[in-house]
Amino acid sequence: MIVCVAVVGQQNNPLYLQSFTEAGDELKLHHIVHCSLDVIDERVNNPKKSWPTLNETFLGLLYPSENYKVYGYLTNTKVKFILVTIDMEVKDADMRNFFRRFHAAFVDAVSNPFHVPGKKITSRSFASRVSAIVKSFGSGTTA
Protein backbone atom coordinates (compact mmCIF):
# COMPACT_ATOMS: atom_id res chain seq x y z
CA MET A 1 0.00 0.00 0.00
CA ILE A 2 1.24 3.41 -0.89
CA VAL A 3 1.23 5.68 2.13
CA CYS A 4 2.51 8.85 0.56
CA VAL A 5 3.26 10.45 -2.78
CA ALA A 6 5.04 13.73 -3.23
CA VAL A 7 6.11 16.06 -6.00
CA VAL A 8 9.23 18.07 -5.33
CA GLY A 9 10.28 20.89 -7.59
CA GLN A 10 13.56 21.78 -9.18
CA GLN A 11 14.80 23.67 -6.18
CA ASN A 12 13.73 20.88 -3.82
CA ASN A 13 10.66 22.81 -2.93
CA PRO A 14 7.63 20.68 -2.19
CA LEU A 15 4.94 21.09 -4.81
CA TYR A 16 2.55 18.44 -3.68
CA LEU A 17 2.51 16.03 -0.78
CA GLN A 18 -0.34 13.71 -0.08
CA SER A 19 -0.41 10.93 2.47
CA PHE A 20 -2.88 8.06 2.37
CA THR A 21 -2.82 6.85 5.91
CA GLU A 22 -5.31 7.44 8.62
CA ALA A 23 -2.77 7.57 11.40
CA GLY A 24 -1.32 10.94 12.23
CA ASP A 25 2.16 10.22 10.97
CA GLU A 26 2.10 12.92 8.36
CA LEU A 27 5.06 14.64 9.90
CA LYS A 28 7.04 11.44 9.74
CA LEU A 29 6.19 11.10 6.07
CA HIS A 30 7.27 14.66 5.52
CA HIS A 31 10.56 13.75 7.09
CA ILE A 32 10.94 10.68 4.97
CA VAL A 33 10.27 12.58 1.78
CA HIS A 34 12.58 15.34 2.86
CA CYS A 35 15.36 12.92 3.72
CA SER A 36 15.03 11.03 0.48
CA LEU A 37 15.99 14.22 -1.32
CA ASP A 38 19.53 13.57 -0.15
CA VAL A 39 19.77 10.54 -2.33
CA ILE A 40 18.07 12.18 -5.27
CA ASP A 41 20.35 15.18 -4.98
CA GLU A 42 23.31 12.90 -5.13
CA ARG A 43 22.02 11.21 -8.22
CA VAL A 44 21.11 14.48 -9.86
CA ASN A 45 24.48 15.97 -9.16
CA ASN A 46 26.54 12.94 -10.18
CA PRO A 47 24.55 11.39 -12.95
CA LYS A 48 27.52 9.54 -14.41
CA LYS A 49 28.57 7.67 -11.35
CA SER A 50 26.73 4.55 -10.44
CA TRP A 51 23.80 5.34 -12.67
CA PRO A 52 24.40 3.62 -15.96
CA THR A 53 21.50 4.86 -18.04
CA LEU A 54 21.25 8.57 -18.34
CA ASN A 55 17.80 8.57 -19.77
CA GLU A 56 16.38 6.56 -16.96
CA THR A 57 13.82 8.60 -15.11
CA PHE A 58 12.97 5.92 -12.61
CA LEU A 59 15.42 6.15 -9.77
CA GLY A 60 14.41 2.98 -8.07
CA LEU A 61 14.51 2.34 -4.39
CA LEU A 62 15.93 5.34 -2.68
CA TYR A 63 16.22 3.96 0.76
CA PRO A 64 14.62 1.35 2.85
CA SER A 65 13.81 2.15 6.41
CA GLU A 66 12.41 -0.11 9.02
CA ASN A 67 8.84 0.21 7.83
CA TYR A 68 8.91 2.03 4.58
CA LYS A 69 10.40 1.86 1.17
CA VAL A 70 10.96 5.03 -0.74
CA TYR A 71 11.03 5.13 -4.51
CA GLY A 72 11.97 8.05 -6.67
CA TYR A 73 11.40 9.29 -10.19
CA LEU A 74 13.07 12.22 -11.86
CA THR A 75 11.58 14.08 -14.81
CA ASN A 76 13.60 15.83 -17.46
CA THR A 77 12.82 19.14 -15.85
CA LYS A 78 14.32 17.91 -12.61
CA VAL A 79 11.00 17.58 -10.89
CA LYS A 80 11.06 14.69 -8.48
CA PHE A 81 8.29 12.26 -7.69
CA ILE A 82 8.65 10.41 -4.45
CA LEU A 83 6.59 7.48 -3.34
CA VAL A 84 6.55 5.94 0.11
CA THR A 85 5.13 2.48 0.46
CA ILE A 86 4.83 -0.06 3.21
CA ASP A 87 4.82 -2.97 0.80
CA MET A 88 8.11 -4.72 1.20
CA GLU A 89 7.86 -6.65 -2.03
CA VAL A 90 7.18 -4.42 -4.99
CA LYS A 91 7.96 -5.22 -8.56
CA ASP A 92 9.98 -2.61 -10.34
CA ALA A 93 7.70 -2.84 -13.36
CA ASP A 94 4.69 -1.91 -11.25
CA MET A 95 6.58 0.98 -9.83
CA ARG A 96 7.60 2.22 -13.26
CA ASN A 97 4.07 1.93 -14.44
CA PHE A 98 2.82 3.85 -11.49
CA PHE A 99 5.31 6.66 -12.00
CA ARG A 100 4.50 6.86 -15.67
CA ARG A 101 0.86 7.41 -14.91
CA PHE A 102 1.70 9.80 -12.17
CA HIS A 103 3.92 11.75 -14.52
CA ALA A 104 1.11 12.04 -17.04
CA ALA A 105 -1.18 13.36 -14.34
CA PHE A 106 1.43 15.85 -13.27
CA VAL A 107 2.01 17.07 -16.82
CA ASP A 108 -1.70 17.63 -17.22
CA ALA A 109 -1.83 19.51 -13.97
CA VAL A 110 1.01 21.88 -14.80
CA SER A 111 -0.34 22.41 -18.30
CA ASN A 112 -3.20 24.25 -16.75
CA PRO A 113 -2.74 27.84 -17.87
CA PHE A 114 -3.69 29.02 -14.42
CA HIS A 115 -0.93 27.09 -12.79
CA VAL A 116 2.12 29.11 -11.89
CA PRO A 117 5.29 27.08 -12.30
CA GLY A 118 7.04 26.77 -8.98
CA LYS A 119 3.87 27.12 -6.99
CA LYS A 120 2.26 24.33 -5.09
CA ILE A 121 -0.21 22.28 -7.03
CA THR A 122 -3.61 22.93 -5.64
CA SER A 123 -5.70 21.44 -8.40
CA ARG A 124 -8.43 19.24 -7.01
CA SER A 125 -8.69 17.19 -10.15
CA PHE A 126 -5.00 16.39 -9.86
CA ALA A 127 -5.53 15.24 -6.29
CA SER A 128 -8.43 13.02 -7.23
CA ARG A 129 -6.53 11.61 -10.17
CA VAL A 130 -3.54 10.86 -7.98
CA SER A 131 -5.63 9.12 -5.39
CA ALA A 132 -7.22 7.06 -8.17
CA ILE A 133 -3.77 6.02 -9.41
CA VAL A 134 -2.69 5.20 -5.89
CA LYS A 135 -5.76 3.10 -5.32
CA SER A 136 -5.37 1.23 -8.56
CA PHE A 137 -1.72 0.58 -7.69
CA GLY A 138 -2.77 -1.10 -4.49
CA SER A 139 -5.36 -3.21 -6.20
CA GLY A 140 -2.96 -4.01 -9.02
CA THR A 141 -0.48 -5.63 -6.69
CA THR A 142 -3.08 -7.56 -4.79
CA ALA A 143 -4.84 -8.76 -7.88
Partner 1 sequence: MEPDVSIETDCEIRVAVLPIGGPIPPPRLRDYLSMLSGHRRVDLSSVSSFYTEHQKSPFTHQPWDSGSLRFKYVVGGAPPSPWEDFQSCRKTLAVVGLCHCPSSPDLSLVADLFAAACKPYTSALVHRCFAFCPSDSQLDEGKKVDKVILFPPSDRQTQEIHMLTMVQDLAASLLMEFEKWVLRAESAGTILKTPLDSQSSLSSEEVIKAKKRRLGRAQKTIGDYCLLAGSPVDANAHYSTAIELARLTGDVFWHAGALEGSVCALLVDRAGQKDATLEEEVKYRYYTVIQLYRRAYLQDNAQRVSTVSFELEAALKLARYLCRQELAKEVVELLMGAADGAKSLIDASDRLILYVEIARIYGSLGYQRKAAFFSRQVAQLYLQQDNSFAAISALQVLSLTSKAYHVQSRGASQKQDTLSNSLGPSHADGGKMHQQSVVSLFESQWSTLQMVVLREILMSSVRAGDPLAAWSAAARLLRSYYPLITPAGQSGLASSLVNSSERLPAGTRCADPALPFIRLHSFPIHPSQMDIVKRSPAKEEWWAGSAPSGPFIYTPFSKGGSNDSNKQELTWIVGEPVQVLVELANPCGFDLVVESIYLSVHSGNFDAFPVSVNLPPNSAKVILLSGIPTKVGPVLIPGCKVHCFGVITEHLFKDVDNLLLGAAQGLVLSDPFRSCGSGKLKIVSVPNISVVPPLPLLVSHVVGGDGAAILYEGEIRDIAISFTNAGTVPVEQAHISLSGKNQDSVISIARESLRSALPLKPGAEVTLPVTIKAWQLGMMDSDHASSKNSSGVSRISKEGSIPLLVIHYAGPLTYNESPKNGDFVSPGRRLVVPLHVCVLQGLRFVKARLLSMEIPAHVHDSLPNPIFVDDGSAEVVTSPNSVNSLVKIDPYSGSWVFRLLELELSNPTDVVFEVNVSVRMDGTNNGNGVTSIQNYAADFGYPKTRIDCDFSARVLIPLEHFKLPVLDGSFFAKESQTTDGLGSKISNPAERNSKAELNASINNLITKIKVRWQSGRNSSGELNIKDAIQAALQASMMDILLPEPLTFLFTLAKNGIANEGIKSPKELSEQTIVAGDSSIQSASGSNTRFKGSISAHEMTPMEVLIRNNTKEPIQMSLSVTCRDVAGENCIEGSKATVLWAGVLTGIQLEVPPLEEVSHSFSLYFLVPGDYTLMGSAIINSATEMLRARARTDSSEETIFCRGSPFHINVVGAL
What does the alpha-carbon distance between residue 100 and residue 67 come to, in Å, rounded to a whole number? 25
Nearer CB in complex with partner 1: 37/130: 37
SS3 of 114, please?
A: coil
Q: Which of 22, 23, 24, 27 is close enough to bind partner 1 by CB under 8 A? A: 27
Q: What is the CA radius of gyration of the chain?
A: 14
Residue 77 interacting with partner 1 (CB under 8 A): no
Residue 120 interacting with partner 1 (CB under 8 A): yes
Q: Which of 4, 5, 7, 37 is close enough to bind partner 1 by CB under 8 A? A: 37
SS3 content of the chain, % helix, strand, coil (to 5): 40, 20, 35
* H helical segments located in the chain: 26-45, 92-110, 124-142
What does the alpha-carbon distance between residue 101 and residue 98 come to, in Å, rounded to a whole number? 5
Residue 72 interacting with partner 1 (CB under 8 A): no
Least Å distance, CB 139 to partner 1, is 30
Question: Count of residues binding partner 1 (CB under 8 A)?
Answer: 27
Q: Which residues would be at the binding site for partner 1 (CB under 8 A)?
A: 9-14, 26-27, 30-31, 34-35, 37-39, 42, 46, 49-50, 63-66, 116, 118-120
